Amino acid sequence: MGPEKSLMAILDWCAFTLPIARTERQPSEHEFRMRIVDVTVQMGKLFPTLMKHSVADLEVATPQRPYRRAWSCPNIGWRINADWKREEVLIVFNGAACDLLRKIGDEAQRDILLQAIESGSRIDLATDVETSLDIKEIEHAGWAKRITSTGFISSHTGDTLYIGSRKSGAFARVYRYAPPHPRSGLLRIEHELKKEQARAVAKIAAIHGVDEAQRSVAAKFNYQHPLLLEVFAGTSSPIVTERHERTMARTEIWLMTQAAPAFQRLVRDGVITDPAAWVKKYMLGDA
Phi, psi of 81 (to 5 degrees): -105, 130
Task: Check whether 2 has a pLDDT greater than 60.
Answer: no
20-38 tens-digit pLDDT? 987 778 889 999 999 999 9
Q: What is the pLDDT of residue 205?
A: 96
Helix 210-221 × helix 195-208 angle, to 10°: 140
The string of pLDDT tens digits covering residues 127-171 is: 999 999 999 999 999 999 999 999 999 999 999 999 999 889 999
Peptide linkage before 180 cis (omega within 30 of 0): yes
Q: What is the mean pLDDT of residues 58-71?
A: 95
Cβ neighbours for 98, distance < 8 A, ≥ 6 positions apart: 10, 11, 12, 13, 14, 109
pLDDT tens-digit profile of 195-254?
A: 999 999 999 999 999 999 999 999 999 999 999 999 999 988 888 776 544 445 567 777
Model pLDDT for residues 87-119, shown as the tens digit of each residue: 999 999 999 999 999 999 999 999 999 999 999
Mean model confidence pLDDT for the chain:
91
